[in-house]
């Protein structure tokens, strides 16, 4: 039986990071992957969608070009080229992970893993089962799109994220079911590329996890762009109607039927816990996710779970962070601290972009904080006006007593690149005064971060 | 001499460290570095660790090459600002190598710091802030992250600092002001007198005049010595015992120039290998090994183990965990085996601190389960799993593998039926465990099959009599064959 000090199941941003950190620390490490190194993030998630959204940005820019004095005689768009760009970026990065595995002397084992017993893994590769022994086994098997009881992804009329990022033609009309981060990104993408998009969300607002003010601005912006946003609305069923899909939609105004060329289902995800042999060993799970302690330890000795499969938030950077914490804890590194879920930033790459970290205003109040809120609208920001993207808001939520930054919520151009500033402030336990006394470069969009903090103190300069 | 020139020297990590082998340099000559930059990995007999810079500047010279062994305090390299001339650097190197060893030691620790060794690092802090260090847990004190980190570095309890930062938070400035006011020196400044504590000042150690003089001549720190003389003093034998442990081979031994041929490769000896060689040789030469061997049937133990493991997802008790527990129980019953002997005095321990030999890359280390007699199987199992994991990563702290009152070496997983082990001094006995295997046994005059393990105890016959060793083994056998009796 082959033996490793530490084995990782799953080669996504949780698994491969865990393997590299383990190898750095001196563990004899192996990583089992059944399909593509890089996982969903690199191959079918974050990276390929961002590659497509770049195309959407360009489409938007071209529409705006006239404002800056450019006119075009003719303009054409080939979606296949955009998809090709997206796939080539994904492949390049997946190859990069393979290189990192090799460089760190990590054995990559192709196949499907099953936890055969405590500290035992069986890997099935094309029908041949190889047995492994390892004192530490980290499950980083990720998650996948969830179906609805009455609506299932069929890859034809009803797409999941995977099909939605590899279209061969641009649909004329599109129904996106689910107004979370994934649904909102696809709605924004297809709208910019020219599709007639309807976005339906069961909750009373889109991006329901975000601060209510941010959601409402996003919804306003989407509506202005021509995306039909229906909230507090359910899709009862989707039926085939010739080449099209007939959706039965039930909203505040009653039930109606509407035809669409295409439907995207983006109603959340479920953990990949099946086929791992966990039920035989009494490993605890909850709603399709593994139950683990703050360091990733499950109730089975030597078995750990990180990333999407260990529960929300389902974000690559949360998985990578958990990977480091889990491995360092196993190695006895005393500075390993559990992930603080209030410090995990969330980014949505629709237009305008949304980024946030920490508690929303409502959550902060709910947690009993005496709060102080600052707001700064981008329409008073010189740089945002200069680039003609002055639609947006930076909202900061502080504890009025301690000055702690409880949460920050942003919507606007490239805010996903700016949220780190607030993340660092939280990590360093900066108060509103520390942030107010920091010097922000001019002219930048991020000056609005400063204004928002100043506003929380009632001393905003530019509004 | 130019005060801006800083030596990189071989640090002293723990009392037993006398020399270290250069493993890998992370910087090269000409590199600009800042405080905390990793400079060089040094391998000692016990550990590989990284020397980090405590000064910023340019690496101007590297005088110790990978593979070389240097004594504590030896010059490894030089850091200085770019404007210092090459001549000055050369002069510095020459004068450094010619300087008195003790001076070097006194000067050295302020120049280097140790990564991942907080205890030792604290001992080396270039400040004297005893009056600021006392106090209760200060985790609730409001302080900036920078101030909290510096407080840990200075060994300052934040309860003793009044905060003037925002919301009364202790700021870096508050902390530094307090340290300065207490007569301490700020980290990163090099204007203070070298502290004698850094090299482990042994002037307060009670010792006989002969022992003190001998220690001085042999370059042995009295803190390293066992105290077995009268009136609680270190005596001559104690110093000699340390000397015997030490490497007497010149530090820079070149691998002997054997005729090189295609069929042989000279392999440089690592620090760990050197220690293993010395200790085993000393043990074999000084302790007359007396061996007793016994077979124990494991079927009951295996059934109990299965019962426990099947009923609990959170543990995976190994046979070795049972053997640790059984040894601890047997040592409590036969304490005459739970002893250390340094040639002059026998120390008997109430607690069974059990060392367990763990094979690691290029050697072996013996992490300890302290007080195994007080611990249940689950705790022993978890501790052993953690110790074995960290042993392989070279992440054990010295106190986790130094000491121990008894040792277990298990080669059962390799299918070894039976073997003899060499005592790990100053311990006085070691148990060698073979593999548990199905063997034919005679029970009530009938031939039967049982799972049997062969156990061999090597004991130091100077202090452990044959009958004592035999009694220990028979008690151990009893515990292994009737594991429930360990519950009493």
* DSSP letter string, A73-104: S-----HHHHHHHHHHHHHHHHHHHHHHHHHT
- In a domain, residue A49? The reply is yes
CATH code: domain of residue A201: 3.50.50.60
Residues A246, A165 share a domain: yes
ipTM for the predicted complex comes to: 0.82
Residues A180 and A137 in one domain: no
Distance, C-alpha A372 to centroid of its chain: 28
Per-residue pLDDT tens over the stretch B244-254: 776 443 333 34
> Do both A15 and A125 map to the same domain?
yes
Which of A26, A300, A403 lies nearest to residue B392, judging by beta carbons? A26
Domain end position, chosen among A235, A267, A299? A267
**How many Å apart are CA A118 and CA A329, to the nearest integer?**
19
**Cβ neighbours of residue A267 under 8 Å, at least 6 residues apart?**
A145, A146, A148, A177, A178, A180, A183
Is residue B124's pLDDT more than 70?
Answer: no
- For helices B236-245 and B209-218, the axis angle rounded to 10 degrees is 20
Grouping H, G, I as helix, E, B as strand and the rest as coil, residue B41 is strand
pLDDT in tens, A203-213: 999 999 999 99
Query: B356 vs B266, B321, B353, B432, CA distance in Å?
Result: 31, 10, 10, 11
Pick the CATH number of B6-122 from 3.30.70.360, 2.40.50.100, 3.60.15.10, 3.30.465.10: 2.40.50.100
Residue B32: partners with Cβ closer than 8 Å, 6 or more residues away: B56, B57, B58
Residues of A in contact with B385 (CB under 8 A): 135, 301-302
User: Cβ A300–B313 below 8 Å, yes or no?
Assistant: yes
Q: Are residues A238 and A329 in the same domain?
A: no
* CATH topology classification for B130-181: Dihydrolipoamide Transferase (4.10.320)
At residue B129 the predicted structure's pLDDT band, cuts being 50, 70 and 90, is: low
pLDDT in tens, chain A (463 residues): 899 999 999 999 999 999 999 999 999 999 999 988 999 888 999 999 999 999 999 999 999 999 999 999 888 999 999 999 999 999 999 899 999 999 999 999 999 999 999 999 999 999 999 999 999 999 999 999 999 999 999 999 999 999 999 999 999 999 999 999 999 999 999 999 999 999 999 999 999 999 999 999 999 999 999 999 999 999 999 998 889 999 999 999 899 999 999 999 999 999 999 999 999 999 999 999 999 999 999 999 999 999 999 999 999 999 999 999 999 999 999 999 999 989 999 999 999 999 999 999 999 999 999 999 999 999 999 999 999 999 999 999 999 999 999 999 999 999 999 999 999 999 988 889 999 999 999 999 999 999 999 999 999 998 8
- Do the beta carbons of residue B65 and residue B22 sit within 8 Å? yes
In a domain, A153, yes or no: no
> Both A83 and A130 in a single domain?
yes
d(CA A318, CA A343): 10
| Residue B224: Cβ within 10 Å count | 21
Same domain, A278 and A360: no
**B167–chain A Cβ distance below 8 A for any pair:** yes
Residues of A in contact with B395 (CB under 8 A): 25, 331-333
Tally of structural domains, chain A? 3
* CB burial of residue A352 (10 Å; 0-12, 13-18, 19+): buried
Domain that holds residue A36: 2-144+270-341
Same domain, A257 and A387: no
Catalytic residue among A67, A442, A450, A462: A442
In terms of Cα–Cα distance, which of B478, B467, B434, B475 is closest to B290? B467
Q: Looking at CA atoms only, how far is residue A163 from chain B in angstroms?
A: 40
Query: Catalytic annotation on B167?
Result: no
Long-range contacts at A211-215 (CB < 8 A, ≥ 24 apart): A211/A356, A211/A360, A211/A361, A211/A362, A211/A395, A211/A407, A211/A409, A212/A360, A212/A361, A212/A362, A213/A361, A213/A375, A213/A393, A213/A395, A213/A409, A214/A354, A214/A356, A214/A393, A214/A395, A214/A409, A214/A410, A214/A411
Domain co-membership, A275 together with A133: yes
* Token pair for A180: 């979370």
In B, which residues are within 8 Å of A105 by CB distance?
A: none
How confident is the model over B407-457, as pLDDT tens digits? 999 999 899 999 999 999 889 999 999 999 999 999 999 999 999 999 999
For B179, phi then psi, to 5°, come to: -65, -45
Q: Cα separation of B117 and B104, whole Å? A: 22
pLDDT band at B168 (very low <50, low <70, confident <90, very high): confident
Map out the domains of chain B as residue ranges. Answer: 6-122, 130-181, 287-487
In a domain, A347, yes or no: no
Pair A360, A283 in one domain: no
Contact B356, B367 (CB under 8 A): yes
How many Cβ pairs closer than 8 A exist between chain A and B?
55
CATH number for region B287-487:
3.30.559.10
Chain B residue numbers touching A429 (CB-CB < 8 A): 144-145
Assess if residue A463 is contained within a domain: no
Is the domain of A359 the same as that of A337?
no
Position B253 scores a pLDDT of 38
Tokens at residue B367, please? 């992490």
CB A38 within 8 A of CB A97: yes
Interface with B, mutate which of A301, A305, A398 (most B CBs under 10 A): A301
Where a domain ends, among A247, A267, A287?
A267
Q: Are residues A16 and A135 in the same domain?
A: yes
> Could you report how far apart the first and last alpha carbons of chain B are, in Å?
70
Helix A415-427, helix A447-456: angle, nearest 10? 50
The residue assigned the tokens 């002893």 is B339
């Amino acid at each position: 039986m082959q033996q490793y000090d530490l084995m990782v199941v799953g080669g996504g941003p949780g698994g491969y990071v865990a393997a590299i950190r383990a190898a750095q620390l001196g563990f004899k490490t192996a990583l089992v992957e059944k399909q593509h190194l890089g996982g969903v993030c690199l191959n079918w998630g974050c990276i390929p969608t961002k590659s497509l959204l770049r195309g959407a940005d360009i489409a938007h820019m071209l529409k705006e070009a006239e404002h800056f004095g450019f006119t075009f005689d003719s303009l054409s768009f080939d979606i296949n080229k955009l998809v090709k760009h997206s796939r080539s970026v994904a492949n390049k990065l997946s190859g990069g992970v393979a290189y990192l595995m090799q460089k760190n002397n990590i054995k990559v084992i192709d196949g499907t893993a099953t936890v055969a017993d405590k500290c035992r893994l069986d890997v099935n590769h094309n029908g041949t089962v190889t047995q492994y022994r390892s004192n530490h086994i980290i499950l980083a098997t990720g998650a996948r799109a969830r179906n609805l009881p009455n609506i299932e992804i069929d890859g034809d009329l009803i797409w999941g994220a995977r099909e939605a990022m590899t279209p061969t033609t641009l649909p004329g009309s599109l129904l996106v079911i689910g107004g979370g981060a994934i649904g909102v990104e696809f709605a924004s993408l297809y709208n910019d590329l020219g599709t007639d998009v309807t976005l339906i969300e069961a909750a009373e607002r889109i991006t329901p996890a975000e601060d209510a003010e941010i959601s409402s601005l996003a919804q306003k912006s989407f509506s202005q762009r021509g995306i039909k946003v229906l909230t507090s609305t359910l899709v009862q069923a989707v039926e085939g109607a010739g080449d099209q899909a007939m959706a039965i939609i039930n909203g505040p105004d009653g039930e109606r039927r509407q035809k669409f060329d295409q439907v995207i289902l983006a109603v959340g995800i479920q953990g990949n816990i099946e086929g791992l042999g966990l039920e035989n060993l009494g490993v605890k799970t909850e709603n399709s996710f593994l139950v683990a302690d703050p360091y990733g330890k499950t109730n089975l000795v030597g078995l750990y779970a990180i990333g999407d499969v260990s529960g929300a938030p389902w974000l690559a950077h949360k998985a990578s962070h958990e990977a480091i914490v889990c491995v360092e804890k196993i190695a006895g590194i005393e500075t390993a601290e559990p992930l603080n879920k209030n410090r995990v930033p969330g980014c949505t790459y629709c237009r305008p972009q949304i980024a946030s970290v920490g508690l929303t205003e409502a959550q902060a109040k709910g947690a009993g904080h005496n709060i102080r809120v600052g707001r700064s609208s981008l329409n008073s920001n010189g740089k945002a006006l200069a680039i003609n993207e002055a639609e947006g808001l930076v909202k900061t939520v502080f504890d009025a007593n301690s000055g702690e930054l409880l949460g920050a919520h942003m919507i606007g151009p490239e805010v996903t690149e700016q949220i780190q500033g607030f993340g660092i402030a939280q990590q360093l336990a900066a108060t509103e005064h520390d942030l107010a006394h920091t010097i922000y470069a001019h002219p930048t969009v991020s000056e609005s971060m400063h204004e928002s903090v100043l506003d929380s103190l009632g001393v905003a300069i530019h509004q | 001499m130019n005060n801006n020139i800083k030596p990189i020297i071989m640090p002293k990590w723990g009392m037993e460290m006398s020399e270290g082998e250069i493993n890998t340099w992370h910087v090269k000559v000409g590199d600009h570095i800042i405080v905390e930059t990793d400079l060089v990995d040094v391998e000692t007999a016990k550990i590989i660790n990284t020397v980090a810079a405590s000064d910023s500047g340019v690496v101007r010279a590297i005088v110790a090459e990978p593979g070389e062994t240097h004594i504590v305090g030896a010059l490894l390299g030089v850091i200085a600002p770019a404007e210092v001339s090459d001549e000055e650097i050369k002069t510095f190197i020459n004068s450094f190598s010619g300087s008195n060893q003790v001076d070097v030691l006194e000067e050295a620790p302020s120049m280097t710091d140790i990564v991942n060794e907080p205890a030792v690092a604290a001992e080396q802090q270039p400040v004297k802030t005893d009056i600021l260090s006392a106090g209760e847990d200060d985790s609730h004190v409001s302080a900036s992250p920078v101030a909290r980190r510096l407080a840990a570095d200075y060994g300052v309890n934040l309860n003793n600092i009044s905060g003037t930062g925002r919301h009364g938070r202790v700021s870096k400035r508050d902390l530094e002001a307090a340290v300065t006011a207490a007569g301490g020196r700020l980290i990163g400044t090099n204007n203070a007198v070298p502290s004698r504590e850094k090299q482990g000042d042994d002037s307060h150690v009670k010792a006989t005049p002969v022992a003190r003089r001998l220690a001085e001549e042999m370059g042995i720190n009295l803190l390293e010595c066992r105290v077995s003389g009268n009136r609680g003093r270190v005596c001559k034998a104690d110093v000699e015992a340390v000397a015997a442990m030490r490497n007497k081979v010149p530090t820079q031994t070149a691998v002997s120039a054997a005729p090189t041929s295609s069929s042989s490769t000279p392999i440089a000896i690592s620090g760990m290998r050197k220690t293993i060689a010395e200790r085993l040789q000393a043990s074999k030469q000084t302790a007359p090994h007396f061996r007793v061997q016994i077979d124990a049937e494991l079927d009951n133990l295996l059934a109990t183990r299965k019962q426990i493991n099947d009923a609990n997802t959170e543990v995976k008790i190994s046979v070795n965990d049972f053997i640790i527990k059984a040894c601890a129980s047997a040592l409590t019953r036969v304490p005459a085996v739970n002893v250390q002997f340094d040639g002059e005095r026998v120390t008997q321990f109430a607690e069974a601190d059990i060392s367990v030999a763990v094979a690691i890359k290029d050697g072996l280390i013996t992490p300890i389960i302290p007080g195994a007699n007080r611990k249940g199987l689950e705790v022993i199992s978890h501790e052993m799993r953690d110790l074995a994991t960290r042993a392989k990563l070279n992440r054990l702290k010295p106190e986790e593998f130094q000491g121990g009152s008894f040792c277990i070496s298990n080669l059962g997983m390799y299918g070894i039926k039976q073997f003899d082990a060499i005592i790990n001094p100053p311990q006085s006995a070691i148990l060698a465990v073979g593999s548990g295997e199905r063997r034919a046994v005679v029970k009530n005059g009938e031939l039967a099959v049982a799972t049997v393990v062969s156990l061999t105890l090597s004991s130091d016959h100077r202090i452990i009599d044959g009958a004592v060793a035999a009694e220990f083994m028979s008690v151990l056998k009893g515990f292994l064959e009737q594991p429930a009796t360990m519950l009493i």
